[in-house]
Amino acid sequence: SIKDSGLSQAFRFEDVRSLEAQRWERGTKRKAKVALEADALDDDVINHPLARDGVWTQAKDFWHVVGWAMNCAVWHWKRWECWQLWLEFVLSVLERDVEERITLRDAGEEGDAGSLEESILGKYLLLNETGRGAQAWKRAGKAIFADGSEKCINEFPPVWRDETKEVEDDEMETYRAPSIYRDVEDPSEDWLKHTGPGVRDLRIRLMALVSPLLSNTNLHS
């Protein structure tokens, strides 16, 4: 099962932007550089600097990645193709986790095994943190429907500082998705049909994934 696989720990986002963490990161990178030059990398060196540069430490949270991926679908097609694969994999794990927990809950399993709040997605939505659930739901909605607008890019910026820097202009395919707010003013337009290949399916998949948690949890908790 996903619950017993250790993926919940592996899929945990960490904040490494504190001053202490930044000092530690600089030190381990220097250590890695020396080891590389000496051709003497050990497991301790390999694990630290590489892991600290990964998505799980560079992204603020899961919704940061989702929002940035949706922004990439508008402005940075090459990056979108990469993030699409990443999201499809992670979503398959989140879906399995929720399905397993619902099955256990419906079978009368007691404790955390059948708790949606303790699922990986539940933790991304801060359902196990009193008073923060509503704020997390709001952020999740903004991420799922991010449309590449200036407001969305400010809220969901690149995961890595220079993530799009090396992309040449002729490699960037600009696809301008219609604004969420413009669609609200003109309900006859189905904006889900105009977000590029794969984007609509992922948005629908994300909405379907969070629905069981929305109907089975208390946003005020």
pLDDT at residue 177 tops 80: no
Show the domain range for 155: 61-216
pTM above 0.85, yes or no: no
In a domain, 8, yes or no: no
Task: Kindly indicate the confidence band of residue 159, based on its pLDDT and cuts at 50, 70 and 90.
Answer: very high
In a domain, 2, yes or no: no
In a domain, 1, yes or no: no
| Of the residues 30, 57, 84, the one at which a domain ends | 57
Question: Do 180 and 108 share a structural domain?
Answer: yes
Predicted local confidence at residue 193, as pLDDT: 46
Question: Do 108 and 52 share a structural domain?
Answer: no
- How large is the average pLDDT for residues 23-29? 51
In a domain, 221, yes or no: no
Question: Do 149 and 49 share a structural domain?
Answer: no
Question: Do 205 and 101 share a structural domain?
Answer: yes
In a domain, 147, yes or no: yes
Domain count along the chain: 2
pLDDT digits (tens, 9 = 90+) for 82-120: 999 999 999 999 999 999 999 999 998 878 888 999 999
Q: Residue 7 and residue 134: Cα distance in Å, rounded?
A: 25
The more confidently predicted of residues 169 and 138 is: 138
In a domain, 5, yes or no: no
